Protein backbone atom coordinates (compact mmCIF):
# COMPACT_ATOMS: atom_id res chain seq x y z
CA UNK A 1 0.00 0.00 0.00
CA UNK A 2 1.28 3.43 -0.90
CA UNK A 3 1.45 6.28 1.58
CA UNK A 4 -1.04 9.12 1.56
CA UNK A 5 0.36 12.44 0.35
CA UNK A 6 -0.65 16.04 0.91
CA UNK A 7 -2.17 18.08 -1.86
CA UNK A 8 -0.77 21.22 -0.21
CA UNK A 9 2.43 20.74 1.76
CA UNK A 10 4.60 22.61 4.21
CA UNK A 11 6.68 24.40 1.58
CA UNK A 12 3.61 26.05 0.08
CA UNK A 13 2.61 27.41 3.49
CA UNK A 14 6.13 28.62 4.23
CA UNK A 15 6.40 30.50 0.94
CA UNK A 16 2.99 32.12 1.47
CA UNK A 17 4.15 33.34 4.87
CA UNK A 18 7.21 34.88 3.22
CA UNK A 19 4.96 36.90 0.98
CA UNK A 20 2.57 37.90 3.75
CA UNK A 21 5.49 39.07 5.89
CA UNK A 22 6.26 41.76 3.29
CA UNK A 23 2.82 43.32 3.71
CA UNK A 24 2.68 43.27 -0.10
CA UNK A 25 5.24 46.07 -0.17
CA UNK A 26 7.01 46.17 -3.50
CA UNK A 27 10.17 47.50 -1.89
CA UNK A 28 10.30 44.55 0.51
CA UNK A 29 9.09 41.97 -1.96
CA UNK A 30 10.57 38.50 -2.13
CA UNK A 31 10.02 38.23 -5.92
CA UNK A 32 8.23 34.92 -5.61
CA UNK A 33 7.14 35.14 -9.24
CA UNK A 34 10.75 35.46 -10.39
CA UNK A 35 11.80 32.51 -8.25
CA UNK A 36 8.98 30.39 -9.62
CA UNK A 37 9.82 31.28 -13.22
CA UNK A 38 13.48 30.40 -12.78
CA UNK A 39 12.72 27.04 -11.15
CA UNK A 40 9.98 26.16 -13.64
CA UNK A 41 12.26 26.82 -16.61
CA UNK A 42 14.97 24.68 -15.02
CA UNK A 43 12.54 21.85 -14.23
CA UNK A 44 11.39 21.63 -17.83
CA UNK A 45 14.73 22.40 -19.45
CA UNK A 46 13.46 25.54 -21.17
CA UNK A 47 15.20 28.87 -21.63
CA UNK A 48 12.35 31.12 -20.51
CA UNK A 49 9.27 30.83 -18.29
CA UNK A 50 6.71 33.63 -17.94
CA UNK A 51 4.08 33.35 -15.22
CA UNK A 52 0.43 34.30 -15.81
CA UNK A 53 -2.77 34.58 -13.80
CA UNK A 54 -4.32 31.54 -15.49
CA UNK A 55 -3.88 28.99 -18.25
CA UNK A 56 -6.09 30.79 -20.77
CA UNK A 57 -4.23 34.09 -20.47
CA UNK A 58 -1.09 32.08 -21.32
CA UNK A 59 -2.64 30.98 -24.62
CA UNK A 60 -3.72 34.53 -25.49
CA UNK A 61 -0.23 35.88 -24.79
CA UNK A 62 1.37 33.08 -26.80
CA UNK A 63 -0.85 33.73 -29.81
CA UNK A 64 -0.01 37.44 -29.81
CA UNK A 65 3.71 36.69 -29.40
CA UNK A 66 3.46 34.29 -32.35
CA UNK A 67 2.24 37.15 -34.53
CA UNK A 68 -1.39 36.04 -34.74
CA UNK A 69 -3.51 39.03 -35.69
CA UNK A 70 -7.06 39.86 -36.76
CA UNK A 71 -8.40 37.46 -39.38
CA UNK A 72 -5.56 34.94 -39.16
CA UNK A 73 -6.44 31.25 -38.85
CA UNK A 74 -5.27 29.01 -36.03
CA UNK A 75 -5.79 25.25 -36.31
CA UNK A 76 -7.03 23.68 -33.06
CA UNK A 77 -8.59 20.39 -31.92
CA UNK A 78 -12.32 20.43 -31.05
CA UNK A 79 -12.02 17.67 -28.42
CA UNK A 80 -10.94 19.75 -25.44
CA UNK A 81 -12.16 22.49 -23.14
CA UNK A 82 -13.40 25.40 -25.27
CA UNK A 83 -10.94 27.86 -23.69
CA UNK A 84 -8.38 26.75 -26.28
CA UNK A 85 -10.54 28.02 -29.14
CA UNK A 86 -11.72 31.00 -27.09
CA UNK A 87 -8.14 32.22 -26.80
CA UNK A 88 -7.96 32.28 -30.59
CA UNK A 89 -11.08 34.44 -30.70
CA UNK A 90 -9.63 36.70 -28.00
CA UNK A 91 -6.71 37.29 -30.39
CA UNK A 92 -9.27 38.34 -33.08
CA UNK A 93 -8.32 35.24 -35.05
CA UNK A 94 -10.38 32.39 -36.49
CA UNK A 95 -10.26 28.89 -34.96
CA UNK A 96 -10.21 26.10 -37.54
CA UNK A 97 -11.01 22.68 -36.13
CA UNK A 98 -9.00 19.59 -37.08
CA UNK A 99 -10.20 16.08 -36.27
CA UNK A 100 -8.45 13.77 -33.82
CA UNK A 101 -6.95 10.29 -33.75
CA UNK A 102 -9.43 7.67 -32.57
CA UNK A 103 -6.90 5.77 -30.43
CA UNK A 104 -4.96 8.56 -28.71
CA UNK A 105 -7.73 11.24 -28.78
CA UNK A 106 -5.09 13.77 -29.93
CA UNK A 107 -5.18 16.15 -32.90
CA UNK A 108 -4.41 14.29 -36.13
CA UNK A 109 -1.48 15.67 -38.19
CA UNK A 110 -3.08 14.40 -41.41
CA UNK A 111 -6.20 16.43 -40.68
CA UNK A 112 -4.11 19.50 -39.85
CA UNK A 113 -2.37 19.35 -43.20
CA UNK A 114 -5.66 19.42 -45.12
CA UNK A 115 -6.72 22.63 -43.35
CA UNK A 116 -3.65 24.79 -43.93
CA UNK A 117 -4.41 27.85 -46.06
CA UNK A 118 -2.54 31.08 -46.85
CA UNK A 119 -4.30 32.59 -43.81
CA UNK A 120 -3.04 29.94 -41.38
CA UNK A 121 -0.65 31.44 -38.83
CA UNK A 122 -0.39 28.87 -36.06
CA UNK A 123 -1.26 25.38 -34.87
CA UNK A 124 -2.37 24.91 -31.29
CA UNK A 125 -2.06 21.35 -30.00
CA UNK A 126 -3.61 20.00 -26.78
CA UNK A 127 -2.06 17.21 -24.72
CA UNK A 128 -5.46 15.79 -23.78
CA UNK A 129 -5.69 13.83 -20.51
CA UNK A 130 -1.90 13.98 -20.10
CA UNK A 131 -0.74 12.52 -23.43
CA UNK A 132 1.22 14.36 -26.12
CA UNK A 133 -0.02 14.50 -29.70
CA UNK A 134 2.28 13.14 -32.41
CA UNK A 135 4.50 16.22 -32.48
CA UNK A 136 7.18 15.41 -35.06
CA UNK A 137 4.88 15.50 -38.12
CA UNK A 138 3.17 18.60 -36.69
CA UNK A 139 6.49 20.39 -36.32
CA UNK A 140 7.45 19.31 -39.84
CA UNK A 141 4.22 20.82 -41.20
CA UNK A 142 4.92 24.01 -39.28
CA UNK A 143 8.41 24.31 -40.72
CA UNK A 144 7.20 23.64 -44.24
CA UNK A 145 4.47 26.29 -44.05
CA UNK A 146 6.23 28.77 -41.72
CA UNK A 147 3.73 28.31 -38.89
CA UNK A 148 4.09 28.66 -35.13
CA UNK A 149 3.20 25.70 -32.90
CA UNK A 150 1.75 26.43 -29.47
CA UNK A 151 1.37 23.51 -27.07
CA UNK A 152 -1.60 23.64 -24.69
CA UNK A 153 -0.24 21.39 -21.94
CA UNK A 154 -2.72 22.30 -19.22
CA UNK A 155 -3.29 18.61 -18.45
CA UNK A 156 0.25 17.37 -19.11
CA UNK A 157 3.11 17.81 -16.65
CA UNK A 158 6.38 15.83 -16.92
CA UNK A 159 5.18 13.50 -19.69
CA UNK A 160 7.52 12.80 -22.59
CA UNK A 161 7.41 12.43 -26.36
CA UNK A 162 10.27 10.42 -27.88
CA UNK A 163 12.36 11.18 -24.83
CA UNK A 164 11.67 14.93 -24.90
CA UNK A 165 9.75 16.77 -22.22
CA UNK A 166 6.26 17.75 -23.34
CA UNK A 167 6.22 21.53 -23.34
CA UNK A 168 9.64 21.90 -24.97
CA UNK A 169 8.77 20.72 -28.48
CA UNK A 170 6.57 23.49 -29.87
CA UNK A 171 7.70 27.10 -30.28
CA UNK A 172 5.70 28.07 -27.18
CA UNK A 173 3.85 26.02 -24.57
CA UNK A 174 1.18 26.80 -22.01
CA UNK A 175 0.56 25.23 -18.60
CA UNK A 176 -2.33 25.70 -16.19
CA UNK A 177 -2.23 25.70 -12.38
CA UNK A 178 -6.03 25.58 -12.00
CA UNK A 179 -7.25 23.51 -9.07
CA UNK A 180 -7.70 20.22 -10.96
CA UNK A 181 -4.24 20.26 -12.55
CA UNK A 182 -1.12 18.31 -11.57
CA UNK A 183 0.20 21.32 -9.65
CA UNK A 184 -2.04 24.13 -8.50
CA UNK A 185 -2.26 27.49 -6.81
CA UNK A 186 -6.02 27.58 -7.22
CA UNK A 187 -5.31 29.45 -10.44
CA UNK A 188 -2.23 30.39 -12.43
CA UNK A 189 -0.35 29.48 -15.56
CA UNK A 190 3.03 29.50 -17.26
CA UNK A 191 4.38 30.01 -20.77
CA UNK A 192 7.60 28.27 -21.82
CA UNK A 193 9.72 29.10 -24.85
CA UNK A 194 13.31 28.93 -26.00
CA UNK A 195 12.84 31.90 -28.34
CA UNK A 196 13.96 35.21 -26.76
CA UNK A 197 11.79 37.34 -29.06
CA UNK A 198 8.69 35.30 -28.21
CA UNK A 199 9.57 35.50 -24.53
CA UNK A 200 9.87 39.29 -24.64
CA UNK A 201 6.58 39.58 -26.52
CA UNK A 202 4.76 37.28 -24.08
CA UNK A 203 6.05 39.27 -21.12
CA UNK A 204 5.16 42.63 -22.56
CA UNK A 205 1.67 41.56 -23.61
CA UNK A 206 0.99 40.07 -20.17
CA UNK A 207 2.24 43.15 -18.30
CA UNK A 208 0.27 46.01 -19.85
CA UNK A 209 2.75 46.65 -22.65
CA UNK A 210 5.35 48.12 -20.29
CA UNK A 211 8.61 49.17 -21.90
CA UNK A 212 10.70 48.09 -18.91
CA UNK A 213 9.73 44.42 -18.78
CA UNK A 214 11.39 41.61 -20.68
CA UNK A 215 11.85 37.87 -20.81
CA UNK A 216 14.00 38.13 -17.70
CA UNK A 217 12.02 40.57 -15.61
CA UNK A 218 8.34 41.17 -15.02
CA UNK A 219 8.67 44.35 -12.97
CA UNK A 220 9.35 47.98 -13.80
CA UNK A 221 12.12 49.62 -11.75
CA UNK A 222 11.39 52.36 -9.23
CA UNK A 223 13.65 54.75 -11.09
CA UNK A 224 11.45 54.32 -14.16
CA UNK A 225 8.07 54.29 -12.48
CA UNK A 226 8.87 57.45 -10.48
CA UNK A 227 10.16 59.35 -13.50
CA UNK A 228 7.55 61.80 -14.90
CA UNK A 229 9.22 61.56 -18.33
CA UNK A 230 9.05 57.78 -18.48
CA UNK A 231 7.25 56.39 -21.51
CA UNK A 232 5.62 53.42 -19.84
CA UNK A 233 3.48 51.63 -22.39
CA UNK A 234 4.94 50.87 -25.81
CA UNK A 235 2.26 48.43 -26.95
CA UNK A 236 -1.20 47.23 -25.98
CA UNK A 237 -1.05 44.66 -23.23
CA UNK A 238 -3.27 42.94 -20.71
CA UNK A 239 -2.86 42.65 -16.95
CA UNK A 240 -2.18 38.91 -16.90
CA UNK A 241 0.46 38.97 -14.15
CA UNK A 242 0.54 36.22 -11.57
CA UNK A 243 0.10 37.46 -7.97
CA UNK A 244 2.88 36.76 -5.50
CA UNK A 245 0.61 34.56 -3.35
CA UNK A 246 -0.20 32.30 -6.30
CA UNK A 247 3.49 32.16 -7.14
CA UNK A 248 4.30 31.16 -3.56
CA UNK A 249 1.92 28.20 -3.64
CA UNK A 250 3.05 27.28 -7.15
CA UNK A 251 6.70 27.24 -6.11
CA UNK A 252 5.93 24.83 -3.29
CA UNK A 253 3.92 22.65 -5.65
CA UNK A 254 6.71 22.71 -8.24
CA UNK A 255 9.14 21.32 -5.68
CA UNK A 256 6.74 18.39 -5.21
CA UNK A 257 5.63 18.08 -8.83
CA UNK A 258 7.29 14.73 -9.47
CA UNK A 259 5.51 13.24 -6.47
CA UNK A 260 2.17 14.75 -7.43
CA UNK A 261 2.45 13.60 -11.04
CA UNK A 262 3.56 10.11 -10.06
CA UNK A 263 0.50 9.69 -7.83
CA UNK A 264 -1.82 10.26 -10.78
CA UNK A 265 0.08 7.72 -12.86
CA UNK A 266 -0.15 5.17 -10.04
CA UNK A 267 -3.90 5.73 -9.69
CA UNK A 268 -4.34 5.30 -13.45
CA UNK A 269 -2.52 1.96 -13.17
CA UNK A 270 -5.07 0.85 -10.56
CA UNK A 271 -7.92 1.67 -12.92
CA UNK A 272 -6.12 0.03 -15.83
CA UNK A 273 -5.84 -3.18 -13.83
CA UNK A 274 -9.52 -2.94 -12.87
CA UNK A 275 -10.69 -2.98 -16.49
CA UNK A 276 -8.52 -5.91 -17.54
CA UNK A 277 -10.67 -8.54 -19.25
CA UNK A 278 -13.45 -6.09 -20.08
CA UNK A 279 -14.13 -6.24 -23.81
CA UNK A 280 -16.17 -3.04 -24.04
CA UNK A 281 -14.06 -0.50 -22.15
CA UNK A 282 -11.09 0.62 -24.26
CA UNK A 283 -8.51 2.93 -22.65
CA UNK A 284 -6.83 5.84 -24.35
CA UNK A 285 -3.84 4.41 -26.21
CA UNK A 286 -0.40 5.63 -25.13
CA UNK A 287 2.02 4.88 -28.00
CA UNK A 288 5.37 3.32 -27.10
CA UNK A 289 7.22 6.53 -27.96
CA UNK A 290 5.34 8.53 -25.30
CA UNK A 291 4.56 8.60 -21.59
CA UNK A 292 1.22 9.72 -20.16
CA UNK A 293 0.98 11.95 -17.08
CA UNK A 294 -2.63 10.78 -16.56
CA UNK A 295 -4.53 13.93 -15.68
CA UNK A 296 -7.44 11.52 -15.97
CA UNK A 297 -7.85 7.86 -16.81
CA UNK A 298 -9.89 8.00 -20.00
CA UNK A 299 -11.67 5.06 -21.61
CA UNK A 300 -14.21 4.59 -24.40
CA UNK A 301 -17.38 2.68 -23.63
CA UNK A 302 -18.33 0.43 -26.55
CA UNK A 303 -21.11 -1.68 -25.03
CA UNK A 304 -23.92 -2.65 -27.38
CA UNK A 305 -26.69 -1.86 -24.90
CA UNK A 306 -25.21 -0.07 -21.85
CA UNK A 307 -25.11 3.70 -22.30
CA UNK A 308 -22.57 6.17 -20.94
CA UNK A 309 -25.12 7.52 -18.48
CA UNK A 310 -26.19 4.06 -17.29
CA UNK A 311 -22.60 3.10 -16.57
CA UNK A 312 -21.93 6.29 -14.63
CA UNK A 313 -25.16 5.92 -12.66
CA UNK A 314 -24.32 2.36 -11.57
CA UNK A 315 -20.73 3.34 -10.75
CA UNK A 316 -22.01 6.04 -8.41
CA UNK A 317 -24.68 3.77 -6.89
CA UNK A 318 -21.87 1.42 -5.89
CA UNK A 319 -19.95 4.24 -4.22
CA UNK A 320 -18.00 5.72 -7.10
CA UNK A 321 -17.01 9.38 -6.96
CA UNK A 322 -18.49 10.11 -10.36
CA UNK A 323 -17.14 10.11 -13.89
CA UNK A 324 -16.39 13.15 -15.98
CA UNK A 325 -17.78 13.55 -19.44
CA UNK A 326 -15.70 14.95 -22.25
CA UNK A 327 -16.65 18.53 -23.00
CA UNK A 328 -18.97 19.17 -25.89
CA UNK A 329 -16.84 19.75 -28.95
CA UNK A 330 -15.92 23.42 -29.02
CA UNK A 331 -17.77 24.13 -32.25
CA UNK A 332 -20.90 22.44 -30.84
CA UNK A 333 -21.13 24.94 -27.98
CA UNK A 334 -23.90 27.55 -28.32
CA UNK A 335 -21.42 30.42 -28.59
CA UNK A 336 -19.99 28.91 -31.80
CA UNK A 337 -23.31 27.79 -33.19
CA UNK A 338 -24.78 31.26 -32.66
CA UNK A 339 -21.56 33.19 -33.40
CA UNK A 340 -22.02 34.94 -30.06
CA UNK A 341 -18.48 36.22 -29.55
CA UNK A 342 -19.29 39.27 -27.40
CA UNK A 343 -18.62 41.68 -30.25
CA UNK A 344 -15.64 39.81 -31.68
CA UNK A 345 -17.85 38.59 -34.54
CA UNK A 346 -17.81 42.14 -35.93
CA UNK A 347 -14.02 42.31 -35.76
CA UNK A 348 -13.66 38.91 -37.42
CA UNK A 349 -16.08 39.67 -40.21
CA UNK A 350 -14.25 42.94 -40.94
CA UNK A 351 -10.80 41.33 -40.92
CA UNK A 352 -11.56 37.95 -42.45
CA UNK A 353 -12.05 37.73 -46.18
CA UNK A 354 -12.34 33.95 -46.33
CA UNK A 355 -15.26 31.60 -45.79
CA UNK A 356 -15.70 30.47 -42.20
CA UNK A 357 -15.45 26.74 -41.58
CA UNK A 358 -18.89 25.18 -41.31
CA UNK A 359 -19.41 24.31 -37.65
CA UNK A 360 -22.06 21.69 -38.35
CA UNK A 361 -22.40 17.98 -37.44
CA UNK A 362 -19.95 15.86 -39.38
CA UNK A 363 -17.15 18.44 -39.35
CA UNK A 364 -14.89 16.24 -37.20
CA UNK A 365 -16.53 12.80 -37.23
CA UNK A 366 -13.94 11.01 -35.09
CA UNK A 367 -14.08 13.66 -32.38
CA UNK A 368 -17.90 13.68 -32.49
CA UNK A 369 -17.96 9.91 -31.97
CA UNK A 370 -15.40 9.98 -29.15
CA UNK A 371 -17.02 12.87 -27.30
CA UNK A 372 -20.12 10.83 -26.51
CA UNK A 373 -18.24 7.71 -25.45
CA UNK A 374 -15.33 8.81 -23.23
CA UNK A 375 -15.50 8.07 -19.50
CA UNK A 376 -12.85 10.10 -17.67
CA UNK A 377 -12.01 8.85 -14.17
CA UNK A 378 -10.23 11.33 -11.94
CA UNK A 379 -6.74 10.38 -10.76
CA UNK A 380 -6.07 13.05 -8.14
CA UNK A 381 -6.43 10.77 -5.12
CA UNK A 382 -3.98 11.78 -2.43
CA UNK A 383 -5.55 9.20 -0.07
CA UNK A 384 -4.35 5.85 -1.46
CA UNK A 385 -7.07 3.87 0.32
CA UNK A 386 -9.68 5.94 -1.47
CA UNK A 387 -8.02 5.26 -4.83
CA UNK A 388 -8.01 1.53 -4.19
CA UNK A 389 -11.68 1.67 -3.19
CA UNK A 390 -12.56 3.42 -6.44
CA UNK A 391 -10.73 0.79 -8.48
CA UNK A 392 -12.67 -1.96 -6.71
CA UNK A 393 -15.95 -0.13 -7.41
CA UNK A 394 -15.00 0.15 -11.06
CA UNK A 395 -14.40 -3.58 -11.21
CA UNK A 396 -17.77 -4.23 -9.55
CA UNK A 397 -19.51 -1.95 -12.03
CA UNK A 398 -18.04 -3.86 -14.94
CA UNK A 399 -19.07 -7.17 -13.35
CA UNK A 400 -22.63 -5.91 -12.93
CA UNK A 401 -22.97 -5.40 -16.68
CA UNK A 402 -20.86 -8.43 -17.60
CA UNK A 403 -17.37 -8.54 -19.11
* Dihedral over alpha carbons 308, 314, 315, 318 (to 10 degrees): 180
- Total domains in the chain come to 2
Torsion 375-165-205-66 (CA) sign: negative
Q: Is the pLDDT of residue 264 over 70?
A: yes
Q: Which of 6, 110, 162, 181 is catalytic?
A: 181
DSSP 322-373: --BPPPPPGGGSHHHHTT--TTHHHHHHHH--S-----STTSSHHHHHHHTT
**What pLDDT is recorded for position 146?**
98
* Predicted confidence (pLDDT) per residue in 274-296, tens digit: 999 999 999 999 999 999 999 99
pTM over cut 0.85: yes
Average pLDDT rounded to a whole number, residues 117-138: 98
CB 68 within 8 A of CB 74: yes
* Predicted confidence (pLDDT) per residue in 189-217, tens digit: 999 999 999 999 999 999 999 998 999 88
Whether 66 and 121 map to the same domain: the answer is yes
**What pLDDT is recorded for position 143?**
98
Helices (H), 55-179: 57-65, 83-90, 109-115, 135-145
**What pLDDT is recorded for position 225?**
79
Look at residue 247 and tell me if it is in a domain.
Answer: yes
Annotated catalytic, 378? no
Residue percentage of the chain with pLDDT more than 90: 91
Look at residue 333 and tell me if it is in a domain.
Answer: no
DSSP 114-133: HH--TTEEEEEEE-GGG---
The whole domain housing 64 covers 10-257
Whether 90 and 232 map to the same domain: the answer is yes
Look at residue 351 and tell me if it is in a domain.
Answer: no
**What pLDDT is recorded for position 221?**
81
Whether 183 and 282 map to the same domain: the answer is no
Whether 282 and 213 map to the same domain: the answer is no
Average pLDDT rounded to a whole number, residues 164-175: 98
Identify the domain boundary among 235, 257, 279.
257
Q: Give me the residues paired with residue 100 across strands.
A: 107
Q: Which of 68-77, 215-224, 264-273 has the lowest mean pLDDT?
A: 215-224
Separation of alpha carbons 94 and 345, rounded Å: 10
CB 153 within 8 A of CB 316: no
Q: What CATH number corresponds to the domain at position 380?
A: 3.90.1150.10
Q: DSSP letter for 27, please.
A: G
Look at residue 157 and tell me if it is in a domain.
Answer: yes
**What pLDDT is recorded for position 27?**
62
Identify the domain boundary among 257, 285, 303.
257
Identify the domain boundary among 210, 226, 257.
257
Whether 214 and 276 map to the same domain: the answer is no
Phi and psi angles of residue 4, each rounded to the nearest 5 degrees, phi first: -75, 150
Whether 165 and 269 map to the same domain: the answer is no
DSSP 237-262: --B-PPPHHHHHHHHHHHHTHHHHHH
Separation of alpha carbons 394 and 298, rounded Å: 13
Of 318, 279, 323, the closest CA to residue 397 belongs to 318
Amino acid sequence: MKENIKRIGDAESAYVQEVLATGFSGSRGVDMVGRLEKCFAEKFGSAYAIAHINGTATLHSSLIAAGVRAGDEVIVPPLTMAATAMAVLQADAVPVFADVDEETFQIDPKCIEKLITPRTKAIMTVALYGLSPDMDPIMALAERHDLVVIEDDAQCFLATYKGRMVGTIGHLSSFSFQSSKHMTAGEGGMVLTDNPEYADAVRRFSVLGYAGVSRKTGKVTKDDIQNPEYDRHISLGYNYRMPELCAAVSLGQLERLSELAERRIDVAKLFSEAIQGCSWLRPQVTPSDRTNSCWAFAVRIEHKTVTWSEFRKKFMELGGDGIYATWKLSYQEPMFQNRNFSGKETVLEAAYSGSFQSWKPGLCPVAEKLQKSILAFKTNYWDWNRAEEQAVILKKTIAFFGN
